[in-house]
Amino acid sequence: MTSGHQFKRFTMIIIVLIIAIAAAVFFLWQVDAEEQAPKVSKTELIESNKVWINNQMQIPIQDNIILSIPAANTNTTIATNGDLILETTNEDILKELASTDNRYKGIKAYRLRIEAKKVSEYITNTKYRYPTTTIQKKFANYEITSGERSVQTEKTPVKIEDTTNNNIKVSLKTSYSSDDAEVAAGIFNSQIPEETTITDNTKNLITNKNVTIYPKTFIYDFTLQKNTMLVFKEQEEAVIKEPIGIEYIIK
């Protein structure tokens, strides 16, 4: 009896220790996941974005089409809200676009607007590295083991909302391949919003010209590992599509 009682007591102690260790690890994961990137004021963001233009950086149009500024027949500016605006009728760039996709056939001008908070990431996307931190939800821990991020022009044109004066407004939602992928969005240092709204003063342009507008999107394509109670592991290929701006094809 004594031996059996001691065994049960020993077993209970082991169970309590396992639970305590698991709780401590979950706590550390949670603290790690809640670390945020430093906040930047609107003024600092605008000035930072202007530096990219003033330093005559290379700006990607597509993953394989890069425009070095200054360029002929091209205007690149930072809007009053910090958005990047690029407009070009450069024949070489337009020919390159037309060779990549039929939707660019007959293009006469190209316009790109990137949301202010994503300008730096957009310009330096080829250097992007996935975070090594983790995030915890309930009894599961999530981490990204590998992946890549690309820039994509979506296939479906945007729906335009009229606003005051010459402005248009476009509201674009972030999409996730699964519920777990949506949880994993919390891992990223730069917040992935549920929705991105772009306002542009182009109502006259789209009224008087043959214009189609498409979402410009970050595609996060990654392997997500989910660890439950430190014991069960499962992996899935996850995708997050985050809108970062809009692209005008003007014919």
Q: What is the pLDDT of residues 151-198, one digit of tens each?
A: 999 999 999 987 788 999 999 999 999 999 999 999 887 789 999 999
As a whole number, mean pLDDT of residues 16-45 equals 56
How many CA atoms, within 13 angstroms, populate the side-chain half-sphere of residue 206?
A: 20
Query: Is the model's pLDDT at 22 over the cut of 80?
Result: no
Residue 52 has a pLDDT of 87
What is the percentage of the chain residues whose pLDDT exceeds 70? 84
The predicted pLDDT at position 18 comes to 59
Query: Is 76's pLDDT higher than 60?
Result: yes
CB 145 within 8 A of CB 166: no
Q: How confident is the model at residue 11 (pLDDT cuts 50, 70, 90)?
A: low
Closest by CA position to 186, among listed 234, 224, 139:
224
User: What is the bridge-based pairing of β-strands 232-250 and 211-228?
Assistant: antiparallel
User: pLDDT averaged over the chain?
Assistant: 85
Please answer whether residues 85 and 76 qualify as being in contact, where contact means their C-beta atoms are separated by less than 8 angstroms.
yes
Give me the pLDDT at residue 138, please: 79
Question: Do 216 and 112 contact (CB within 8 A), yes or no?
Answer: yes
Token reading at 37: 């990137």
Amino acid in position 28: L
pLDDT for the residue 181: 94
* Per-residue pLDDT reduced to its tens digit, 103-159: 999 999 999 999 999 999 999 998 888 888 888 887 888 999 999 999 999 999 999
At 7, is the pLDDT very low, low, confident or very high (cuts 50, 70, 90)? low
Residue 215 has pLDDT above 90, yes or no: yes
